[in-house]
Amino acid sequence: MDTRTSYLGLELKNPLMVGAGPLTANAESVCRCEDAGAGAVVLKSLFEEQIRRDNEGLDAALEQEENWHTEVGAYREADLALRYGSHEYLEILRASKKRADIPVIASINGTSAESWLQFAKDIEAAGADALELNIALIARDVFTDGATIQTEYENIVRRVGKRISIPFSVKLVPYFSALPWTINRLCSEGAHGFVLFNRLYRPHVDPGSMHIRVDGEDKYSSRKELAPSLRTIAGVAGRVNADFAAATGVHEVEDVLGALLVGASAVQMVTAPLTRGLNVLTEHLQGMKEWMESHEFNDISSFRGRLSEMNSAEGTMFSRTQYVKSIAVPSGSTNR
């Protein structure tokens, strides 16, 4: 069975990607993912906040010199400390590219357009095959409207697209009022693909202590969380000129196949290989081959997107099932 797929213009030997996290934190881990059968890896994310914290010592030293050294003021205004904070990440990227034969995708998580541009340029120069923009801008006050958030996403994507030549994807949160429209807009601004979705923590209120808590188990996803990704991909696959990777909730081989059937080009897994071991990749790859053989599919392109809204009425069930079920009359009922 031919399990190759194309994602962001890259040829992957299979659609199983290990997403950004502890399993992709260094070159040794990347090689272990490759040995287990991963088609590609996304390096751990480079966070703007983390870089700023790492450079607090440098900023303090510069502050002391700012009054007598004219260049220091310009240095701090340009926020050049951010570039030096990325050196460790770039070394991990270079080492991973040197040792691994599968595509290595870098991941950056920031909030300001300037920092995105700095990181993106450095990452391209370090040899990344592609870049994943992890954007999680959410309105946190009553004064920021949806249009403002939308515009900021578009600005970041547009500016990154103009400054780098490697393909890049955008990892989104599902909290948009018109998500398919947003995806189409970001695609027109230069995004080559999308990762659906970024998983945010789910704090809860503990009435006993009257505190807001985040359970340690919440860092792991469950299979039930995959539905929003499948629903969105089914609606936009084939209608937007971009590749899609399903993320959050991909645990079993059925999840992988489901994502491909609705139109995804690849899937990202973190929780499953993290909690069950990297051998889960080998198991899923074998399971995928067996399923393809039993259904007489020689390659992934033969069935990818078969259940998208564009190709099948089945795809609309993701958006209509709840309504259909609410008005369905049970068999044998006399209610009218």
Collapse the DSSP code of 251 into the 3-class scheme (helix H, G, I; strand E, B; otherwise coil) and give the result.
coil
Asked whether the beta carbons of 227 and 155 are under 8 A apart, the reply is no
Phi and psi based region of residue 108 (left: phi greater than 0; alpha: psi -120 to 50; beta: remaining):
beta
Helix or strand holding residue 113 (H, E): helix 113-125
DSSP count for the chain of H helices, then E strands: 14, 12
Amino acid identity at 330: P
Return the ∠ at Cα 224 (arms to 218 and 225), rounded to 5°: 60
Assess if residue 312 is contained within a domain: yes
**Which pLDDT belongs to residue 191?**
97
Q: What is the pLDDT of residue 307?
A: 95
Of 259, 224, 225, residue with least CA distance to 244: 259
* Listed residue (279, 251, 269, 267) closest to 37, CA to CA: 279
CA angle, 134 then 259 then 7, to 5°: 55
Residue 198, in any domain of the structure = yes
Question: Has residue 261 been placed in a domain?
Answer: yes
The phi, psi pair for 2, rounded to 5°, reads: -90, 110
Write the burial class of residue 321 (CB in 10 Å: 0-12 exposed, 13-18 middle, 19+ buried). Answer: exposed
- Give the pLDDT confidence score for residue 139 in this predicted structure: 79
* C-alpha closest to that of 161 among 120, 197, 123, 122: 120
102 falls within a domain: yes
pLDDT of residue 20: 93
Residue 335 located in a structural domain = no
Residue 335 has a pLDDT of 47
Which pLDDT score, from 0 to 100, does residue 185 have? Answer: 97
What is the model's pLDDT at position 324? 52
The answer as to whether 108 is a domain residue is yes
| Residue 332 covered by a domain | no
Which of helix, strand or coil describes residue 284?
A: helix
The pLDDT value recorded for residue 180 is 95
Residue 336 lies in a domain: no
3-class DSSP state of 308: coil
User: Could you tell me if 250 and 268 are in contact, meaning their C-beta atoms sit under 8 angstroms apart?
Assistant: yes
Check which CATH number belongs to the domain holding 303 and give it: 3.20.20.70
Give pTM, 2 decimals: 0.86
Domain that holds residue 289: 5-327
Q: What is the pLDDT of residue 334?
A: 47
Overall number of domains in the chain: 1
**Positions of the chain with pLDDT under 50:** 70, 75, 333-336
